[in-house]
Chain A
Amino acid sequence: MAIFNLTINGEKREVDVDPDTPILWVLRDELDLVGTKFGCGVAMCGACTIHLDGAATRSCQVPVSAIEGKKITTIEGLSEKGDHPVQKAWLEHDVAQCGYCQAGQIMSASALLDSNPNPSDEEIEVAMTGNICRCGTYVRIKDAIKTASKL
């Protein structure tokens, strides 16, 4: 176990965990930030997507020891009032079925739009293909990303 100082959603947080603990489990077990989901643990589903210095990152793959000094944003910190354009578009298109994958989808989509405000269909595909939605809400995800890009 070791002490790590993290910056999560703009706040300084200190945790005492095994250095190889993936940030996913630091968020979920230590910091009560459970919006970031566990789906596979092997970088294949995207449910655990967060922003690490603004880039969409699979939090199940990044040990806590590798992120000190970096800025972490989770779904809880994407916007103060749940009114980020991507969140608004997700509600407008009523995207969710079970909802379990959606935090990861939103984090992938918002990272895409931050770096590329008007993505083409192909660019959306590339950015979103790492996020599985077992319920099959892909059509709505695509429509919501297009709406968000205009907000």
Chain B
Amino acid sequence: MTLIKTKVGRRSFIKTSAATGGGILIGFNWLVSCTPATEEEPTVAIPNEWFDINGYIKIGDTGMVTIYSPNPEIGQNVMTSMPMIVAEELDVPWKNVVVEQGSLDEDAFKNPQFAGGSLSIKLSWDALRMAGAAGKRMLMEAAAKEWGVAVTDLTASEGVISEINGERTIEYGQIASKAVGIEVPEELELKEPKDYKLIGTRQKNVEGPKIVTGKPLFGLDYKREGMLLAMIEHPPAFGLKVVDFNTEEIKAMTGVKDAFIIDTTIPEPGGLGINAFPQLVAIVGESTWQLMKAKKALKVNYESVSEAENSEMHAAKMEADFEKGQAATSRLDGDPDAAFASATKVIERTYTAPFMAHNTLEPMNFFANVTADKAELVGPTQTPKLLEESVAKLLDMPAENITVDMTRQGGGFGRRLYTHFGLEAAAISKKMGAPIKMIYTREDDMSQGTYRPTYRSVYKAGLDENNNLIAFSVKGIGIPEGPVFPNRFPAGSVDNYVAESRGIETNISTGAWRAPRSHFTAGAEQSFLDEVAELAGKDPIDLRLELFERAMKNPVGEEHEYEAERYAGVLKLVKEKSNWGTETPGVFRGVAAYFCHNSYVAQVMDMVLVDGKPKVKKVYCAVDCGILINREGAENIIQGGVVDGIGHAMYSELKFEDGTPTHKNFTTYQLVRFNQAPAEIEVHFVENEIAPTGLGEPGLPPAVGALANALYKATGTRYYHSPFSTADQGSNLIG
């Protein structure tokens, strides 16, 4: 039996019924239960009355249950998986459940509402289970009272409460009205994983039917009576600031209501408040197209406020400063210098990666309605709470007067962790005294990014005469942060080990890009280990398993940030599922494994040559994320991570000339396309009962390493510098 405390912080779980209220209305609200109705199994009728059970749950008199999904939905599918956890403990048939996006209300949800670090499931695991279990307990208490029996005489399952030794039964919908406000005990019993009926099954995306019929779901689709549209123009280069523009000319254009300069500077913005261009030109009107034409007619004067950077300068700086100054983070085990000096074989390789843009397919946008004493924001954000706090600073308004609602989001990848676009919408609405929706063009989005930093790392390994790895060094630098995780693998598995990370300042705005740093370190480290294995004459999986064995039995150093057993577990699983070791003519294989964001993923990538050009045909993935919540969504996000990893390692880069990003749209910025994606991606999960961890990021990093290793087998060339398809490394790679 798993017991869980129902008191979190200062308020008990139950005392905040009705706090979240309805979801967001985008144009209209329509109810679709989680499983589409079939002739044999009609879904539950739309209720006449709803009863608020707690912040997550509302039950209708017909037995229909609304579960509010607390966290931002950016495509990671938490809007399905989080409510599944609530429904499991509430013990209600999934087909009776309707899911709605919850508003920002961390008090009601007893949990931080953000999408970042693949943390949604990991952090909310207790709160979601508790919400469901508390709801079930309240319904049972109400039934017990009604029948004059003890709660212990009752059992509840699939939305029905029954007497253990009696005939009586009652459905949740029939007793819900009496359950409102009932106190629950301080401790509640949770289900054992072996008793799960819903968790671990395959459930379809709850918004699937709306997505395939084009219903208004996204921020860009949001509309309000009397709403105006707004667009911004930012300086063309980092290091420039807006001075003035041809205001009168722009204002005179057809469809332009107003044009002005906004300033979104706030005190203590914090890391996620990064904003390279706090001063922007804003143009407001009623038609997007007319605004786009007005943007083209802008003549803006800029002043230079800091140095204009370029890509050559970035590369040169990273090389020059590589070992200069104090490392930001470091680790030292044993005596690497001596070990390298005594090694029989030494190998050293340098890896680099460029800046990259996030390029969520839905460009940045936000709705704001700022009045004298209130502000209402609606749109795509991964950090609604931070946005609320930031808008409070910008408007000098108490946070209680500000609401933030989340729409479905056309991709996140870290881009919507940042607050500047929400602030811009708020500033424009305030100036206009009207509700506005601000939207970026693709060019605005790509040239005003919070880019993935550029990196350079040097890996070095030493083998003794028996081909044992006796020394390992990883040193990295990045703009603005270095890419090295000193306590990650292979730390703990090598006697003599050194890791150092350094950063160089820049005026280019950078930020978290899906699996920050990990996507680069996984690619570099895992392809380096492939070369080390080759040098040692060992199978690449065996070499890794040997190292994990060492880290399990006799770890080196104080600590390391991974569980060697689980790491080895995914490698063994992928080895088995891919029949590693068997040779298929014309198929070239690469392997990689990586641990980040609390989950373990190993991949084997099969490459073939099509017209002489390499193409990934099939990928095998083995994943350990603890308890699996929704098998369907989990497979999908891992597959997406693989495609994203291949795509960005092969094709994507953002360069700078005179402070200006040289790519501004998909005409030159290449994203992976249908014909370049693998034909098949198989995903296998390690079965265990460990508390669940996230999957939004961990599927991506190993794909970079597996790709580089498969490419080597297919072409005989090692790829050290992403994107691998650039001309200097062989443009023949574009398959």
Q: Quick check: B361 and A29 within 8 Å, CB to CB?
A: no
Q: B639 to A139, Cβ gap below 8 A?
A: yes
Complex Cα–Cα for A39 and B445 (A):
10
CA distance A85 to B213 in the complex (A): 12
Across the interface, which residues of A come within 8 angstroms of B673, CB to CB? Answer: 129, 132, 138
Residue pair A137, B409 in contact (C-beta under 8 Å): no
| Contact assessment for A99 and B209 in the assembled complex, using a CB-CB cutoff below 8 Å | no
Q: Write 30 A-B pairs (CB below 8 A) sorted by A numbering.
A: A20-B289, A29-B289, A35-B216, A39-B361, A42-B667, A44-B666, A44-B667, A45-B666, A75-B214, A76-B214, A91-B212, A96-B211, A97-B636, A97-B637, A100-B218, A100-B360, A103-B214, A129-B674, A132-B361, A134-B671, A135-B361, A136-B642, A136-B647, A136-B677, A137-B640, A138-B672, A139-B639, A139-B677, A139-B679, A139-B680
Residues in B whose Cβ lies below 8 Å from that of A38 = 220, 288, 363, 439
B681 at the interface (CB under 8 A from A): yes
Q: Once bound together, how far apart are the Cα atoms of A17 and B287, in whole Å?
A: 9
Judge if B435 is at the interface, Cβ distance under 8 Å: no
Q: A98-B362, A133-B361, A134-B411 are in contact. List 14 more A-B contacts (CB 8 A).
A: A34-B216, A35-B213, A35-B216, A38-B288, A41-B292, A75-B214, A94-B204, A96-B75, A96-B212, A100-B218, A101-B361, A129-B674, A139-B681, A140-B639
Q: Which residue of B lies closest to A141 (CB)?
A: B674
Chain B residues lying within 8 Å of A1, measured Cβ to Cβ, are 254
Q: Does B111 contact A (CB under 8 A)?
A: no
Distance, CA A20 to CA B412, complexed state (A): 32
Q: A81-93: contact bitstring with B at CB < 8 Å (1 yes, 0 no)?
A: 0100001001100
Interface size class of B (residues with CB under 8 A): 35 or more
B636 touches A134 (CB 8 A): no
- Let me know if B191 is at the binding interface, CB within 8 A: no
CA distance A34 to B222 in the complex (A): 9
B207 within 8 Å of A by Cβ?
Answer: yes
Judge whether B289 and A22 touch: CB under 8 Å: yes
Q: In the complex the two chains form, is B361's CB within 8 Å of A45's CB?
A: yes
Count how many chain A residues have C-beta atoms less than 8 Å from C-beta atoms of the other chain.
Answer: 59
Q: A94-B204, A139-B678 are in contact. Are A34 and B220 (CB under 8 A)?
A: yes
Known A40-B666, A45-B361, A98-B409; contact A74-B643, beta-carbon cutoff 8 A: no
Q: Which of B274-294 contact A (CB under 8 A)?
A: 286-290, 292-293
Q: Within 8 Å of chain A (Cβ to Cβ): is B314?
A: no
Query: Please, how many angstroms separate the alpha-carbon atoms of A25 and B640 in the complex?
Result: 30
Say yes or no: is A11 at the interface (Cβ < 8 Å to chain B).
no
- Rounded to whole angstroms, the CA-CA distance of A94 and B640 in the bound complex is 13
Interface secondary structure of B, over-half rule: loop
Give chain A interface residues in 46-96, CB to chain B under 8 Å: 47, 74-76, 78, 82, 87, 90-91, 94, 96
List residues 106-140 of chain A with CB under 8 A from any CB of chain B.
106, 121, 124-125, 128-129, 131-140
Residue-by-residue, is B20-41 near A (CB-CB < 8 Å gives 1, otherwise 0)?
Answer: 0000000100000000100000
> Bound state CA distance, A25 and B441, in angstroms?
13
Interface centre among A17, A44, A78 (most CB of B within 10 A): A44
Compute how far the CA of A17 lies from the CA of B362 in the bound complex, rounded to whole angstroms: 24
Cβ of B517 within 8 Å of any chain A Cβ, yes or no, is no
Q: Is B581 an interface residue (CB 8 A)?
A: no
Chain B contacts of A40 at CB under 8 A? 442, 665-666
Contact A25:B289 (CB < 8 A) given known A34-B220, A106-B212: yes
Residue of B nearest to A79 (CB): B213
Q: Contacts A32-B223, A137-B640 hold; do A96 and B287 have CB atoms under 8 A apart?
A: no
Number of A-B contacts (CB under 8 A): 194
Whose C-beta in chain A lies nearest to the C-beta of B700?
Answer: A136
Contact of B674 among A75, A87, A135, A138 (CB under 8 A): A138
Q: A1-B254, A45-B666, A75-B213 are in contact. Are A134 and B288 (CB under 8 A)?
A: no
Q: Which residues of A contact B361 (CB under 8 A)?
A: 37, 39, 45, 47, 98, 100-101, 132-135
A20 to B214, CA, bound (A): 25
Q: Is the CB of B76 within 8 A of A97?
A: yes
Which residues of A have CB within 8 Å of B442? 39-42, 45
- Contact yes or no, A138 B214, CB < 8 A: no
Q: Which residue of B lies closest to A76 (CB)?
A: B214
Residues of B near A125 (CB, < 8 A) are: 674-675
The docked-state distance in angstroms from the alpha carbon of A106 to that of B210 is 13
Chain A CB count within 10 A is highest, among B292, B633, B640, for B640
Within 8 A of A (CB), among B184-217: 204-205, 207-209, 211-217
Collect the chain B residues with CB atoms within 8 Å of residue A29's CB.
Answer: 229, 286-289
Interface code B261-303, partner A: CB below 8 Å = 1, 0 otherwise?
A: 0000000000000000000000000111110110000000000
Q: Which of B74, B408, B636 contacts A137 (CB 8 A)?
A: B636
Which of the residues B214, B677, B681 comes within 8 Å of A74, measured between beta carbons? Answer: B214
Neighbour of A128 across the interface among B73, B254, B408, B674, CB < 8 A = B674
Is B641 an interface residue when CB atoms closer than 8 A count as contact? yes
Q: Which of B208, B643, B678 has the most CB of A within 10 A?
A: B208
CA of A40 to CA of B362 in the docked complex: distance in angstroms? 9
B211, A42: Cβ atoms closer than 8 Å: no
Closest chain B residue to A101, Cβ basis: B361
Judge whether B112 is part of the interface by a CB distance below 8 angstroms.
Answer: no
Question: Are B680 and A99 touching (Cβ within 8 A)?
Answer: no
The interface residues of chain A lying within 8 Å CB-to-CB of B679 are 121, 139, 142
B636 to A140, Cβ gap below 8 A?
Answer: yes
A132/B212 contact (C-beta < 8 A), A34-B221, A42-B442, A139-B643 known: no
Assembled-state Cα–Cα distance A131/B213 (Å): 17
In the complex, whether A147 has a CB less than 8 A from a CB of chain B is no
- B334 is an interface residue with CB less than 8 A from chain A: no
Interface string of A9-20 (1 = CB under 8 A from B): 000000001101
In the complex, are the beta carbons of A41 and B441 less than 8 A apart? Answer: yes
Chain B residues near A142 (CB-CB < 8 A): 674, 679
Q: Are B411 and A135 in contact (CB under 8 A)?
A: yes
Query: A138 to chain B: which residues have CB within 8 Å?
Result: 643, 672-674, 677
A99 touches B410 (CB 8 A): yes
Report chain A residues within 8 Å CB of B73.
98
In the assembled complex, B77 has its CB within 8 A of some CB on chain A? yes
A106 to B205, CA, bound (A): 17
Instruction: Please tell me if the beta carbons of A90 and B212 are within 8 angstroms of each other in the complex.
Output: yes
Shortest CB–CB separation between residue B411 and chain A, in angstroms? Answer: 5
Asked if B665 and A136 make an inter-chain contact with CB atoms under 8 angstroms apart, the answer reads no
Contact of A25 among B223, B287, B359, B639 (CB under 8 A): B287
